[in-house]
Chains A and B, each alone.
Chain A
Amino acid sequence: MRRTHSHHFLFALLATAILFTPAYAQKLNGNSTAAAKAADSSPLKLTLPNKEGSLRFAVIGDTGSGTDKQRDVGEMMIKYHALFPFEFVLMMGDNMYGGEAPQDFQKKFTEPYRALLNQKVKFYATLGNHDQALQVNYKDFNMDGKEYYRFKQGNVAFYSLNSNYMDKKQVKWLEDELGRETAEWKVMFFHHPPYSSAKKHGSDGQLREVVEPIFLKYGVDVVLTGHDHVYERIKPQKGIYYFVSGAGGKLRTGDIDRETGLTEKSYDRDLHFMLFEVAGDQMYFQAISRTGETIDSGVIPRK
């Protein structure tokens, strides 16, 4: 009996080891060298179903610090890309801290994500409170020269808003676009979080006062934000799922206030990024730390 148990244990150990070897990662993504490098150091754990034909994307926020830790996140993203080949990345703003000379674009964007850019992964940015207006014209941010814009991928419509300056004109544009929206999923992404438990900034009540009624009226499913340098999944608010993903390049350790009653799951110990997969009526998500640890995962059903 004891012998059988130890056999089972050894078998499980072996299977786990095989599953997380570089060779297996490579097999999942063809002959990518990045994939081979990917699983060198830590076993990668993908909780997403990785279904054929699903829409895959990543999310990063408050990235533009140009630090080694930002680059670490970029490297972890390419490792996961080998397992889960996401097509594009949504950026939650503060894409560039402290200056926007050409060399800043290199240090704070191109270099940390070079491997992803080389693999033709597209980045879609939104403007944060540290971003200059002309970023909208930067080719690799794919903003189409606009402060707020919409694009559609599969059955999902993505709306990037400029939460720095939510004037009447933008509100009208949002209402008009949502009014004729036909996509099954509606995802908003912008910088300032309508709900947040972080002590530094927290929930943006004024922005929420204006945008939440519109989100409710037009059946928005998911809202992705940054600004607070933490990870937080908010308990669904009036049926909408809110995320704060603002630690892609800057971190405020211990910034989450545990007493707000808003938090479903949070993480404020290291930088992170997120992965999403939309398969029909299900949206799966996984939040991953700079070191590859899964800090949250789950599934959101469509309304």
Chain B
Amino acid sequence: MNKKRYILLWLLVCLLILASAVAVAQSTQNAALAPPVVVSPADKAAIETFQKQVKTYIELRNKVKENAPKLSKESTPEQIHAYRTALQTSLRNARTNAKRGEFFRPETADFIRRTLKTEFQGKDRQELRDKIFETETQGVVLRLNYPYAQTAELSEMPATLLAKLPQLPKELRYRFVGRNMLLVDRESDLIIDIMPEALP
């Protein structure tokens, strides 16, 4: 009788261990996937406004690009350098009245900040923050219409985050410098807009 009880007790203990292991595994898995961002009608409107601004920029950029030397896919370093310099100058001249927050308007910035907060929350997302903060961005001047320093590293934009942010055309890129988020022209590397303290 005692032996039977002993076996039953052991079975119970084993079951308890197994159940708690499964529960821990499940919670870890769930924690790894950041919850989806809730997009309200107000957010949708903010994203639409942002995308309209982006479209206007691309139209201006295309016009400006006509004055830059053409760049083929078989270019020499000298041609690349000449193209980048010409594009930078033309874009700067075309946007002398550029203002901070022109793209990251308060409503858009609010949506992006919430998205970032959701994506970066949780202990398991510490790796994400580490990757951004370890990026060597010395030399980057956070100033509109200034180029992102060529000597500085580019922070990798987490693929999981890019899936949640408003999509950008190939001419523009999101980029982090510390806690700040930038909107950068991909080819000229000019800083188009800055959202300070974007990261939680």
CB < 8 Å: which of A132, A139, A143, A164 contacts B156? A164
Q: Are B158 and A206 in contact (CB under 8 A)?
A: yes
Q: Are B77 and A102 in contact (CB under 8 A)?
A: yes
Q: List 16 A-B contacts (CB under 8 A).
A: A98-B150, A99-B150, A100-B80, A106-B77, A129-B154, A133-B189, A134-B71, A137-B83, A138-B77, A163-B156, A166-B162, A167-B157, A167-B163, A167-B167, A201-B131, A207-B159
A279 to chain B, nearest CB (A): 32
Q: How far is the CA of A277 from the CA of B186 in the complex (A)?
A: 36
Q: Are B154 and A164 in contact (CB under 8 A)?
A: yes
B90 to chain A, nearest CB (A): 15
Interface status of B160 (Cβ within 8 A of chain A): yes
Summed over the interface, the residue pairs from A and B with CB atoms below 8 Å come to a total of 107
Q: How far is the CA of A163 from the CA of B131 in the complex (A)?
A: 13
Interface status of B121 (Cβ within 8 A of chain A): no
Q: Annotate B151-194 by CB proximity to A: 1 below 8 A, 0 otherwise.
A: 10111111111110001101001000000000000110100000
Q: Are B127 and A205 in contact (CB under 8 A)?
A: yes
Q: Annotate A33-75 by CB proximity to B: 1 below 8 A, 0 otherwise.
A: 0000000000000000000000000000000000000000000
Q: Are B77 and A129 in contact (CB under 8 A)?
A: no
Q: Are A206 and B151 in contact (CB under 8 A)?
A: no
Q: How far is the CA of A209 from the CA of B160 in the complex (A)?
A: 7
Q: How far is the CA of A56 from the CA of B36 in the complex (A)?
A: 45
Q: Are A129 and B153 in contact (CB under 8 A)?
A: yes
Q: Are B187 and A134 in contact (CB under 8 A)?
A: yes
Q: Annotate B72-96 by CB proximity to A: 1 below 8 A, 0 otherwise.
A: 1111111111011000000000000
Q: Are A137 and B80 in contact (CB under 8 A)?
A: yes
B129 to chain A, nearest CB (A): 11
Interface status of A2 (Cβ within 8 A of chain B): no
Q: Are A101 and B81 in contact (CB under 8 A)?
A: yes
Residues of B within 8 A of A165 (CB): 156-157, 162, 173
- Please list the 6 inter-chain residue pairs (A to B) with the smallest Cβ-Cβ separation, ordered nearest first: A145-B73, A166-B159, A105-B77, A102-B77, A210-B159, A206-B158
Q: Are A168 and B158 in contact (CB under 8 A)?
A: no
Residues of B within 8 A of A135 (CB): 80
Q: How far is the CA of A295 from the CA of B153 in the complex (A)?
A: 30
Q: Annotate B127-158 by CB proximity to A: 1 below 8 A, 0 otherwise.
A: 11001001100000000000000110111111
Residues of A within 8 A of B134 (CB): 201
Q: Are A133 and B187 in contact (CB under 8 A)?
A: yes
- What 10 additional pairs, Cβ within 8 angstroms, besides A134-B187, A206-B159? A98-B150, A99-B150, A134-B71, A145-B73, A165-B157, A168-B163, A201-B131, A201-B134, A204-B131, A204-B156
B173 to chain A, nearest CB (A): 6
Q: Which A115-169 residues have a C-beta within 8 angstroms of B?
A: 129-139, 143-147, 163-169
CB < 8 Å: which of B77, B128, B154 contacts A206? B128
Q: How far is the CA of A240 from the CA of B160 in the complex (A)?
A: 22
Residues of A within 8 A of B151 (CB): 98-99
Which residue of B is nearest A97, CB measured? B151
CB < 8 Å: which of A100, A138, A164 contacts B75? A138
Interface status of A262 (Cβ within 8 A of chain B): no
